[in-house]
Structure 1
Amino acid sequence: MNTFLILVLVGLMVMVVVSLVRGIIAFMQSTRDDLNRPDSTGPSEMQLKQNKYMFARIMYQGLAVLLVALVLFASK
């Protein structure tokens, strides 16, 4: 059981890194687009995408923390 939980934890950690990198890429693109964009109201498409990736990162991190707690509880 612990082996399965560890594998799931590694998968969650990979997803954290992937969503972090994709969020940073979206941030860099939104910054470049915002410099060339005329003044307008509301967030741009890239800013919304950046927000989505960063929220996913937080969700994966929370799941990873809960899984670590579960592994620690199961190992006692």
Structure 2
Amino acid sequence: MQIILVLAVVAAAGLVLFSLARGLIYFAQGHRAAAEGNLRENQIMQNKMMMARVKWQAITIILLIIIGLTAAGSS
């Protein structure tokens, strides 16, 4: 059970990193999007990536809490 939880934490943390990287890419493209007239779409994608990052961070924290509780209960 612990191994599955650890793998889930690693996967969720990877998704946090992926969401962060994509959000930073959209943020960096803000000036180009403004020049091309796509600023609204760019801001929407930045917000989506921020919400995805927050979601995956919450899932990672919950999984870490579960690991801590199961480790404390097994000793």
Range class of TM-score, shorter chain: 0.7 to 0.9
Distance 1:31 1:11 in 2: 32
Percent identical across equivalent pairs? 32
Could you tell me which residue of structure 2 aligns to residue 29 of structure 1?
29
Please give the residue correspondences for 1:19-58 in structure 2 after superposition, counting only pairs within 5 Å. Answer: 19-34=19-34, 36=35, 44-58=40-54
In the aligned structure 2, how far is the partner of 1:9 from the partner of 1:26?
26
TM-score (norm 1): 0.86
CA contact (8 A) 1:26 1:50 kept: yes
Q: How many residues align?
A: 71
Residue 64 of structure 1 is matched in structure 2 by 60
In 2, Cα distance between equivalents of 1:54 and 1:37: 23
Q: Secondary structure at the match of 2:67?
A: helix
Residue 37 of structure 1: how far off its partner (Å) = 5.4
- What is the deviation of 1:61? 0.2
In 2, are the aligned partners of 1:30 and 1:44 still within 8 Å (CA)? no
Which consecutive unaligned segments of at least 5 residues does structure 1 have?
none
- The aligned counterpart of 1:11 is 11
Equivalent AA in structure 2 for residue 46 of structure 1: N
Q: Which amino acid aligns with 2:24?
A: I
